[in-house]
Amino acid sequence: MNNIYQNTHQNMQKAAATIKNGGLVAFPTETVYGLGANVYNAKAVAAIFAAKQRPHFDPLISHIAEIDFLKEYAATDERVFALAKHFWPGPLTFVLRRIEENPSIDLACSGLRTLTVRMPNHPIALDLIRRSGVPIVAPSANKYQSVSPTTAEHVADGLGDKVDMILDGGACKVGVESTIIDLTGKNIVMLRAGGTAKEDIEEFLGEKVLLSGGDPNLPTAPGQMLRHYAPHNTLRINITTPESDEYYIGFGSLNGNLNLSPSGDLKEAAANLFAYLRLADSAAKSGKIAVAPIPTTGLGLAINDRLQRASYK
Rounded Cα–Cα distance for residues 137 and 19 (Å): 10
pTM for the structure as a whole: 0.89
Sign of CA dihedral 170, 43, 1, 12: negative
Q: Distance (Å, rounded) from C-alpha 86 to C-alpha 204?
A: 8
pLDDT above 70 (res 38): yes
3-state secondary structure of 94: strand
pLDDT of 58 above 90 = no
Q: What percent of the chain has pLDDT over 90?
A: 83
Domain ranges of the chain: 4-211, 234-310
Does residue 195 have a pLDDT over 80?
A: yes
Q: What percent of the chain has pLDDT over 70?
A: 97
CB count in 10 Å sphere of residue 184? 15
- 103 versus 308: the higher-pLDDT residue is 308
Distance CA 26, CA 47 (A): 13
Q: What's the rounded mean pLDDT across residues 70-80?
A: 93
- DSSP result, 145-212: TBPPP-SHHHHHHHHGGGSSEEE---S-SS-SPPEEEE-SSSS-EEEE--SS-HHHHHHHHTSPPEE-
Residue 68 has pLDDT above 80, yes or no: yes
Comparison of pLDDT for 130 and 110, the residue scoring more:
130
Instruction: Give the pLDDT mean for 67-77.
Output: 92
In whole angstroms, how far apart are CA 113 and each of 74, 99, 221? 10, 9, 12
- Res 40 pLDDT > 80: yes
Task: List Cβ neighbours of 65 (8 Å cut-off, separation of 6 or more).
Answer: 119, 126, 129, 130
| Element (DSSP H or E) covering residue 283 | helix 266-283
Confidence of residue 174 (pLDDT cuts 50, 70, 90): very high
Model pLDDT, residue 183: 97
Rounded Cα distance between 232 and 242, Å, is: 19
Over 60: is that where the pLDDT of 1 sits?
no
Q: Identify the three-state secondary structure at position 60.
A: coil
DSSP state of 4: E
Q: Does the domain made of 234-310 have the CATH classification 3.40.50.11030? A: yes
Contact 170, 28 (CB under 8 A): yes
The arithmetic mean of pLDDT across residues 86-96, rounded, is 97
Task: Assign 3-state DSSP to the chain and report helix, strand, coil percentages, each to 5.
Answer: 30, 20, 50
If you average pLDDT over every residue of the chain, what do you get?
93
Instruction: Indicate the CATH number for domain 4-211.
Output: 3.90.870.10
Over residues 210-250, the pLDDT tens digits come to 998 667 666 677 777 667 777 899 999 999 999 999 999 99
Contacts of 202 (CB under 8 A, 6+ apart): 208, 209
Give the range with max mean pLDDT: 129-133, 141-145, 172-176.
129-133
β-bridge pairing 61-63 and 114-118: parallel
Angle between the 78-87 and 198-205 helix axes, to the nearest 10 degrees?
130
Is the separation of the CB atoms in 151 and 33 below 8 Å?
yes
What is the mean predicted confidence (pLDDT) over 133-142?
Answer: 96
Give me the half-sphere count of Cα atoms (radius 13 Å) on the Cβ side of residue 196: 28
pLDDT (0 to 100) of residue 39: 95
Residues 65-71: what's their mean pLDDT?
94
**What are the CA-CA distances from residue 303 to residues 10, 135, 171, 181, 238 (Å)?**
37, 28, 18, 17, 12
pLDDT, tens digit, 9 for 90 and up, residues 255-296: 999 999 999 999 999 999 999 999 999 999 999 999 999 999
**Residue 222 confidence (pLDDT):** 76
Q: How far does the chain reach from its first CA to its final CA, in angstroms?
A: 35
- The DSSP call for residue 29 is -
| Residues 37 and 24: beta-carbon distance below 8 Å | yes
